[in-house]
Chains A and B, each alone.
Chain A
């Protein structure tokens, strides 16, 4: 599974939607329930799953799935 697929699983879990599809350009505008509360749930689940840590500044700036994947990949390789 590539990073996008793995992240998609986490998104489905947080938003409670089995069929949710995300792309690199998906942002909070596209998912109605993506607010500050679910955003931080995504962040903590991703930290745990990929065994990485984000800084305060990174958490604040993550707006798009593409940025998220780039950041995850820079931290895991």
Chain B
């Protein structure tokens, strides 16, 4: 688990606050230097580096010339599917792979690029430059696993770093330390447990162990991802960055769309802005369906996309379908319940009753935890497929 790269990375995390807390016009350049060095360290070959820089730089220069950037975004998405090796799509179409390419964080880079490209024409031109753009895509705090910030918010933050004197260092370090415990102790523990249960299940299926697998896996994912974000958000804060929060007690959500507004919040926000909203607007313009039906459909497509973005195997397709079905169904049920309660206000009050709350949390969490299995394990293999 601990490689030379991750040791270097940890070193950088702890040195960065000293390097980046300077008040100098070179701060952005120093940050860029750190980001590029870490990126180059992770490169496996010269070819990888060439493709990576072409991937990053070409859209930057092209997007300044385009009035309607949709074609460019389409091309990026297709390129992403190819480079990221969606085998079940690529081999279905019979396209050969010409080279091996692996870039950690490519999916996050893609989403940040889309944010930049779609908003470029409406941004203050003074905020657009290559250094900001590269720092935005490659910030070592967020390149691997988010949070996904918006370009304009990122630049605003970059230009107004928080004064180190105003930071409650002990409190921040405490959060970072808890984050490390979550990742290296708790998540590691539940990961080991779930893997051994999975192996056991492969040879002999048993319901009780299966439930154990669901629970340990849900705990593993939560501690791993939220712990990682705790570390990055707090270490970033020490260097003067304000990184968006990504978690808000997700396992206490009362329905699936509530869950997604608490788990990986920045991804949900991105999906809302760039997948869900455009679908709703486009369908609503055709005036063929009621807005409620359009939203149910848009939910399904959005979460299907989210599932596919997370990984390249068929398990992620199933994960996406499960989330899509779950969220759409939950929307239908919520609309029905609002009507039955006689309005939104009454419905909100009804949901605050302890028993209703407990039942809703239990149902939501069970569904989420079950669907998360497809996220971590080859469930198809478990079912003998």
Which residues of A does B touch, CB under 8 Å? Answer: 15-16, 32-33, 36-37, 40-41, 43-45, 47-48, 53-61
Chain A residues within an 8 Å CB radius of B348:
32
A40 x B277 contact (CB < 8 A): yes
Known: A43-B281, A44-B291. A56 touches B274 (CB 8 A): yes
What separation, in Å, do the CA atoms of A53 and B343 have in the docked complex? Answer: 30
A57 x B277 contact (CB < 8 A): no
B118 x A56 contact (CB < 8 A): yes
Chain B residues within an 8 Å CB radius of A37:
257, 295, 331
A59 x B281 contact (CB < 8 A): yes
What separation, in Å, do the CA atoms of A3 and B267 have in the docked complex? Answer: 34
Within 8 Å of chain A (Cβ to Cβ): is B353?
no
B344 x A16 contact (CB < 8 A): yes
Pick the contact of B284: A33, A48, A56, A58 (CB < 8 A): A48
B281 x A15 contact (CB < 8 A): no
Instruction: Kindly state the interface size class of chain B when it binds its partner.
Output: 20 to 34
Pick the contact of A56: B277, B285, B287, B295 (CB < 8 A): B277
Within 8 Å of chain A (Cβ to Cβ): is B278?
yes
Which residues of B does A touch, CB under 8 Å? Answer: 118-119, 121-122, 257, 272-274, 276-278, 280-281, 284-285, 287, 291, 295, 331, 343-344, 348
B343 x A56 contact (CB < 8 A): no
Query: Assuming A40-B295, A56-B274, what are 15 further A-B pairs, CB within 8 angstroms?
Result: A16-B343, A16-B344, A36-B272, A36-B277, A37-B257, A37-B295, A37-B331, A40-B280, A44-B291, A47-B284, A47-B285, A48-B287, A56-B118, A56-B273, A60-B277
A44 x B274 contact (CB < 8 A): no
What separation, in Å, do the CA atoms of A32 and B328 have in the docked complex? Answer: 22
A-B contact pairs, 21 of them (CB 8 A): A15-B344, A16-B343, A36-B276, A36-B277, A37-B295, A40-B277, A40-B280, A40-B281, A40-B295, A43-B281, A44-B284, A44-B285, A47-B281, A48-B284, A53-B285, A54-B281, A55-B122, A56-B118, A57-B119, A59-B277, A60-B273
Chain B residues within an 8 Å CB radius of A59:
273, 277, 281
Interface centre among B118, B274, B277 (most CB of A within 10 A): B277
Quick one: closest A residue to B344, CB to CB? A33
What separation, in Å, do the CA atoms of A32 and B352 have in the docked complex? Answer: 15
Known: A15-B344, A56-B118, A57-B118. A44 touches B280 (CB 8 A): yes
A44 x B122 contact (CB < 8 A): no
What separation, in Å, do the CA atoms of A32 and B285 have in the docked complex? Answer: 27
Quick one: closest A residue to B278, CB to CB? A56
Chain A residues within an 8 Å CB radius of B272:
36
Give the distance to chain A from B315, nearest Cβ to Cβ, in Å. 28
Chain B residues within an 8 Å CB radius of A32:
348
Give the distance to chain A from B107, nearest Cβ to Cβ, in Å. 20
Quick one: closest A residue to B268, CB to CB? A36
Interface centre among A15, A16, A36, A47 (most CB of B within 10 A): A36
Chain B residues within an 8 Å CB radius of A48:
284, 287
What separation, in Å, do the CA atoms of A53 and B282 have in the docked complex? Answer: 10
B122 x A58 contact (CB < 8 A): yes
Known: A44-B281, A47-B281. A57 touches B343 (CB 8 A): no
Quick one: closest A residue to B122, CB to CB? A57
Chain A residues within an 8 Å CB radius of B284:
44, 47-48
Interface centre among A16, A45, A60 (most CB of B within 10 A): A60
Chain A residues within an 8 Å CB radius of B121:
57
Chain A residues within an 8 Å CB radius of B343:
16
Chain B residues within an 8 Å CB radius of A16:
343-344
Report the 6 A-B pairs with minimum CB-CB distance, sorted nearest first. Answer: A44-B284, A60-B273, A57-B119, A57-B122, A40-B280, A36-B272
What separation, in Å, do the CA atoms of A37 and B332 have in the docked complex? Answer: 13
Quick one: closest B residue to A43, CB to CB? B281
Chain B residues within an 8 Å CB radius of A58:
122
Give the distance to chain A from B209, nearest Cβ to Cβ, in Å. 39
Chain B residues within an 8 Å CB radius of A41:
291, 295
